[in-house]
Structure 1
Amino acid sequence: MTSDDAWIGDAHPYLAPRAEGQKDAWSAEAAARGRKGSQRLLAAKEVDPPGPVQDFFGVEAGERVVVRRRLILLDDHPVELADSYYPARIARGTPLAEQGKIPGGAVTLLATLGFVPEDEPLEDIAAAVATVSQCEELDLPAGAPVLILTRFTRSRAGEPMEVSVMTMTRHLQYRQRKQAS
């Protein structure tokens, strides 16, 4: 995707449970722009969490979490790697921990389990040089830059429920809201 293809992103559709039969948020967002958005599940498994995930979830060293790793495609071209992490106590024994598509997506399943996401999760954005593995998966040349957006989501009850790490090849624009002081 070139910078000419940029659009302003909005996290809210990705945090809202989907109605039965409704497209996932990425497919709907791409379709609204006359494009085809899809994704491929690369893995669903228990792993040792990266440091920021471990800290956010408050898990002990050696305690595992569930990750769903996806390749995000735009018009059948890779544009993003998305790794979504869940505390094992929430995800174990659910479709989150299984290889396969989740009807309505993870946010819909989590809502049925009593974990409705907060309205304004914390998002952290960083720039990096793509790793060798990321270059292979995203079809990038060596040394290509990527954006890494990490979203830390709590439930409305304040419980840490998901960390999504999105490694992006595309231009990203955001709108910010001014909060009263």
Structure 2
Amino acid sequence: MPDAHEDKRPLAERIAAEIRQQIMSGEWEPGMRVPTNAKLTEQYSTSNVTVQRAVQILKDEKFLEGQTGVGVFVRSKAAQTIIPASYMPPSEPGQPYRWLSEATKRHQNGKYKMLKVGEVAPPKQVAKAMRLDENGTAMLRSRIGFLDDQPAELVHSYYPIELAQGTRLADRRLIPGGSPALLNEMGYPTRSQDDALAARSATTEEYVHLEIPRDIPVIEVFRIVYSDDQRPIEVSILVKPGHRFKMGYHVETP
């Protein structure tokens, strides 16, 4: 029998991982004062130097905040749970994109910044989802979403070129009501979507745009949106900072 898989990370990293989980789960609540180094040293049966390294890791990752002369505290805001299903229906006429209106309901200020719009040869997984041939192209719309002026998501959305050309999908400006509302007006209502989630290290683009601290992983959502007859009308790759967000899903029992 092969040996059991061992955690060979330095002890400081293992301690940081334990505390990180406590913070993400809410066991350590926002604003809570962190136990003293002496208590953590006793709890983890290690040295003060190792505990200091673990605490510094979590400070660098923005999980902990130090207050000079006072102590170390859990960050003031808990990880936010995002419910993808709440953004699926198109906005009502004259209303902002649902991602923005949902932010307002949570008393947050949401906004988008467009990065790129243009016809491209999409990545293989996108081309496959869109059922494109080998030389097929798609319309790409890339943007960053901000919540309270902090980068919350980097989104690359692809649309069938025959649907997008000559429409606002090909325009660099933001679309009033968002792409779901526009596609609905064009006769392509959203009927369903498939999401595939992954956790991975950030690319340089993601690291820069999302202001990822240290080696925090990102949450990737690969989304296919279908209209009538299961026609894919949008394929998106959404990336969120893993230390600030969770993805929430509600599933009804058949």
- TM-score, with length taken from structure 1: 0.90
Aligned twin of 1:153: 225
Deviation (angstroms), 1:116? 0.6
Deviation at 1:110, TM superposition (A): 0.4
Which deviates further from its counterpart, 73-82 or 17-26? Answer: 17-26
Q: Which moved more, 1:146-155 or 1:17-26?
A: 17-26
Structure 2 letter corresponding to 1:86: Y
Q: CA deviation at 1:89?
A: 1.0
Kindly indicate whether the alpha-carbon contact (under 8 Å) linking 1:132 and 1:142 is maintained by their aligned counterparts in 2: no
Using the aligned pairs only, state the percent identity: 31
Please state whether the residue corresponding to 1:53 is helix, strand or coil.
Answer: helix
Instruction: Report the equivalent of 1:53.
Output: 126
More displaced stretch, 148-157 vs 68-77: 148-157
Moved over 2 A (4+): 2-15, 141-144
Is 2:195 the counterpart of 1:116?
no
Q: Is the 8 A contact 2:84 2:248 kept in 1?
A: no
Gaps of 5+ in 2: 1-22, 25-76
Aligned equivalents of 1:141 and 1:11: distance in 2?
25
Which residue matches 2:164?
91
Number of equivalent positions: 178
Choose the corresponding residue for 1:130, options 167, 179, 202: 202
Q: Which amino acid is the alignment partner of residue 249 of structure 2? A: R
Please say if residues 14 and 107 of structure 1, whose CA atoms lie closer than 8 Å, have aligned partners that are also in contact: no
AA matched with 1:29:
E
Quick check: 108-117 or 3-12, which moved more? 3-12
Q: 2:238 aligns with which of 166, 170, 174?
A: 166
**In 2, are the aligned partners of 1:57 and 1:160 still within 8 Å (CA)?**
yes
Q: Write the deviation string for residues 116-154 of structure 1: whole angstroms up to 9, x where unpaired.
A: 1114x1100001101112111111235331000111111
> Can you give the 5+ residue segments of structure 1 that lack an aligned partner in the other structure?
none
Root-mean-square deviation (CA), in Å? 1.7
**Is residue 37 of structure 1 aligned with residue 110 of structure 2?**
yes
1:143 aligned residue: 215
For 2:176 and 2:162, locate their aligned partners in 1 and report how far apart those are by CA, in whole Å: 21
Residue 73 (structure 1) aligned to one of 141, 146, 150:
146
- The Cα offsets for residues 69-124 of structure 1, whole Å up to 9 and x where unpaired, read as 010101111121011111101111111011101111101110111111114x1100
Does the 8 Å contact 2:81/2:245 carry over to 1? no
Q: State the partner residue of 1:176.
A: 250
TM-score (norm 2): 0.66
Residue 179 of structure 1, CA deviation: 4.6
Q: Distance in 2 between matches of 1:33 and 1:19?
A: 19
Aligned to 2:101: 28
Q: Which of 162, 174, 178 lines up with 1:105 in the alignment?
A: 178
Q: Which has the larger radius of gyration?
A: 2
Which residue identity does 2:251 align to in structure 1?
Answer: R
